[in-house]
Amino acid sequence: MTNILIWGVGGRLGRTVLSCIDASENTKASGGVDKFADPADFNIPIFKGVSDINVKPDVIIDFSRADAIYDMLPYAKENHIPVVLCTTGHTPIHLDYIREMSRDIAIFKASNMSLGVNLLIDLVKRATNVLGDKFDIELLEYHHNIKVDSPSGTAITIADAINKEMNNTLNYKHGRNDSNARRDKRELGIHAVRGGTVVGKHEVLFLGNDEIITIKHEASSKAVFAEGAIKAGIFLAGVKKNGMYDMADLLS
Ligand SMILES: NC(=O)c1ccc[n+]([C@@H]2O[C@H](COP(=O)([O-])OP(=O)(O)OC[C@H]3O[C@@H](n4cnc5c(N)ncnc54)[C@H](O)[C@@H]3O)[C@@H](O)[C@H]2O)c1
């Protein structure tokens, strides 16, 4: 049995994780942390901040806000609890801090917990190897109208994977509203669409002479991410070494 503390339990993903944990025989929710959630809405202990936490989970799953790391990671370090960071929108300063803390705790970080998206990244890398020099590459991402960060963390992960295959020679072009020039060969266009209730859709276009290849993933339920995060939590609770982990570690 893996005991899980959910950071951001009152949010859309936090609540989905809680219901997926409840539906599984191998996991138990020890409690939830949320600055703004009403404890009366939950049947597990809810803590407003680290000083209130009085449970000892095996792992933390985080779907809150990027700057929550400054409370969460010191708490995790002090109590030797591994952390699955699913929140997106971390700045380079946040990322440095996360890497530094991973010397003392095991941290799993993935901007997208879905198995399908991670397969998409593999396929996109392969397509980039074959087509990258001849085709233009553009990336579109679609999310619901209350998402706060853009482009999505997943779009950045996909763009970085493409760029790595191209020896980091591409320049990211976010939207095209500020230019009056032809597309540069070394551009990688990234476009964020926001609206409705879209859970998450990512589309990579390889545009060539008279042909377009599209590689696309669409999540139709948040449970896809919650289930992936729980799998990562079970995996991380079992690892013995501190450091950074990602989907490649889980899939292998
Ligand atoms: N990795 C993935 O696969 C994946 C998938 C979907 C969403 N996300 C990311 O997860 C995050 C949460 O998404 P959401 O749609 O559930 O957002 P949300 O706004 O519905 O929920 C966030 C919750 O965190 C709480 N919160 C805010 N600051 C906090 C803090 N400092 N400490 C504790 N709780 C705090 C809020 O009260 C809220 O209940 C976002 O960054 C989103 O991009 C990641």
Report whether 206 contacts 94 (CB < 8 A): no
Report whether 30 contacts 5 (CB < 8 A): yes
pLDDT value of position 63: 97
Our answer on whether the CB atom of 225 is closer than 6 Å to any ligand 1 atom is yes
Our answer on whether the CB atom of 127 is closer than 6 Å to any ligand 1 atom is no
User: Catalytic residue at 147?
Assistant: yes
Which CATH number covers residue 243? 3.40.50.720
**Same domain, yes or no: 82 and 204:** no
Sheet holding 136-143, edge to edge: 171-174, 187-194, 136-143, 200-208, 211-219
Rounded to the nearest whole angstrom, what is the distance from the C-alpha of residue 65 to the centroid of ligand 1? Answer: 5
pTM, 2 dp: 0.85
**Same domain, yes or no: 160 and 236:** no
Instruction: Indicate the number of domains in the chain.
Output: 2
**Same domain, yes or no: 200 and 129:** yes
**Same domain, yes or no: 122 and 209:** yes
User: Catalytic residue at 143?
Assistant: yes
CA atoms of 219 and 226, how far apart (whole Å): 12
Q: Which residue has the tokens 């801090």?
A: 97
Report whether 102 contacts 79 (CB < 8 A): no
CA atoms of 44 and 143, how far apart (whole Å): 30
Structural domain for 126, as ranges: 115-219
Name the catalytic one among 143, 202, 217, 222.
Answer: 143
pLDDT value of position 213: 98
* Contacts for 5 with CB less than 8 Å, ≥ 6 apart: 29, 30, 31, 32, 33, 53, 55, 57, 59, 60, 61, 81
CA atoms of 145 and 115, how far apart (whole Å): 24
Residue type for position 129: N
| Nearest CA residue ID for atom 40, ligand 1 | 87
**Same domain, yes or no: 146 and 105:** no
Our answer on whether the CB atom of 235 is closer than 6 Å to any ligand 1 atom is no
- Predicted confidence pLDDT, tens digits, the chain (252 residues): 999 999 999 999 999 999 999 998 899 999 999 999 999 999 999 999 999 999 999 999 999 999 999 999 999 999 999 999 999 999 999 999 999 999 999 999 998 899 899 899 999 999 999 999 999 999 999 999 999 889 999 999 999 999 999 999 999 999 988 778 899 999 999 999 999 999 999 999 999 999 999 999 999 999 999 999 999 999 999 988 999 999 889 877
**Same domain, yes or no: 99 and 184:** no
pLDDT value of position 179: 74
Residues in a beta bridge with 140: 191, 203
**How many Cβ atoms from other residues are within 10 Å of residue 60's Cβ?**
25
pLDDT value of position 115: 86
Backbone angles phi, psi at 19, to 5 degrees: -70, -30
**Same domain, yes or no: 98 and 9:** yes
Comparing CA positions, the residue from 104, 108, 76, 95 lying closest to residue 245 is: 108
pLDDT value of position 177: 82
84, exposed or middle or buried, with CB in 10 Å at 0-12, 13-18, 19+? buried
Pull the structure tokens for residue 76. 């995790």
Q: Which atom of ligand 1 is nearest to the CA of 9?
A: 39
pLDDT value of position 155: 96
**Same domain, yes or no: 14 and 105:** yes
CA atoms of 217 and 201, how far apart (whole Å): 6
Our answer on whether the CB atom of 68 is closer than 6 Å to any ligand 1 atom is yes
Residue type for position 176: R
Our answer on whether the CB atom of 64 is closer than 6 Å to any ligand 1 atom is yes
pLDDT value of position 180: 81
Which CATH number covers residue 158? 3.30.360.10
